[in-house]
Structure 1
Amino acid sequence: MEHLKVGEMVLYWLDGGVTHLDGGAMFGVVPKPLWSKKYSYNDKNQIELRTDPIFFQLNGNNIIIDAGIGNGKLTDKQKRNYGVTAESRIDVSLKEFGLAREDIDIVLMTHLHFDHACGLTIPDADRHVPSFPNAVIYVPETEWEEMRHPNIRSKSTYWKENWEAVQDQVQTFKEEITIEGAVRMIHTGGHSDGHAIITGESGGEKWIHMADLLPTHAHRNPLWVMAYDDYPMTSIFQKQKWIDKAIQENAWFVFYHDAIYRALKWDAEGNIVAKVERERNPES
């Protein structure tokens, strides 16, 4: 299992499944001759996007960032439309640590789109039950409100199956919250109105997870934002701010979706100076 050590903190990537989405949608107005030089695509013009939760332990707590694509929740039509070729195997991943889903203490949700939130619940007969029944689930207040009351655009990605069973576990925050003294969740907006990023620090070293503001390493250019972004100008502003800051601080960028890199560092010129590459697993 790939991992990244940042100070005394170690980040691991669980197997949360994989999607393949339209490359044009993922890169918005950027022409294909440009983005295709930085990220490969298949014969359907789709790009591979992991949905792998990031796991770490802090102060005796088992913590994950986002929840994966889930298992047994998508119809055949949804799997086809979203290019899902493998569903979540989080149980298998957690067994490597001697853990089960019941052992997760904290879930940090950057936002609640289906490809991040499906893994929060599990189908059980004619209902859904919590995947992580003993966890506190942190999510920005704005995102939680839209999840429960989606608009005509967002209702296609905010599903009641992903929130109704866990509503008693959710703890919201407005602009920022610090988890266990070392990890910050910061509301940014942009990709969704309630989108958040996550930063961590240990032993003088730093990491940043920009979630869907920076879904892959190929989205480094602040102007390369997704057609899926509800507020693209906000995304651009937040990318400029946080990418520049992280590079100045020599921080690691960590990814949930990237099929090539788990984590990397850039220099001021945009060169990759350190990296953790994803290991190709034939089962995922």
Structure 2
Amino acid sequence: MARRSAFRSIQRAIRIAAALLSSQYAYMLEYRAEIALWALSGVLPLIMLAVWQGSDGAAAAGLTPQGLGRYFLAAFVVRQFSVVWLIHVFEEDALQGKLSPQLLQPLQPLWRYLAAHVAEQATRVPFVALMLAGVLLLQPGLLWMPSPGQLLLGIAAIQAAFVLRFLLQTLVAMLCFWSERAAALDRLLLIPYLFLSGLVAPLESFPPAVRRIAEYTPFPAMVSFPAKLLAGESVDVGAGFLNIALWCAVLFPLSRVLWRAGVRRYSAMGA
């Protein structure tokens, strides 16, 4: 009896997930032009590749010119598929009262936002493929094919980095229940994210003190670790995934506590 109940629960969860993803994917397809612009806005790693290729930075970072190119190309892919914009839509929904009808439904609203992000990633695929094709036409030397194992681990690391970024931004988004400018804090976090994640430069190019500081933050796990894994560099796979899991284990309960406290405050205000 217990097994049958558990099986039915799993079936129900799968049906809900499929319905959410299909509806959100259809919704995202209506905004293909906007998503194409979003994809173009994520070309910072390619810009930094051009900057680094014009200097002797590869040797300083302990990388060959080919390795540097692969790293930034991999960082571009990681950046494209780990984008999180939860804070902006959640802040708008909370301020305009759109969150209220969602709270009356049995499905936790954050699942809808997560499904929207996953669907948006799927709609990015053709645009990212076209941009990669354009880069490789200009610089064929950057072309490489990861082994099946590296590719699978790289994809898993990208999705893990996305989950970590989603949880971090969820934590910030919960502040919308107390402030009308919670998005400002997310913009403030963008500064350490850009520099400590390895997005603008490989972490090996930074002074040892800066690298040690970066190791105590979740940011390297969001770009540097999956990018190195995808580029075929030597990296401690177990330690990298463990680091992401530990940060998720810290951020998830904190987000739940703030969510419950925030919803009580939101309801008390008559929403």
Shorter-normalised TM range: under 0.3
TM-score by length of structure 1 reads 0.25
TM-score normalised according to structure 2 size: 0.26
Considering Cα pairs closer than 8 Å and 6+ residues apart, tell me whether 1 or 2 has the greater RCO.
Answer: 2
- Higher strand proportion, which one? 1
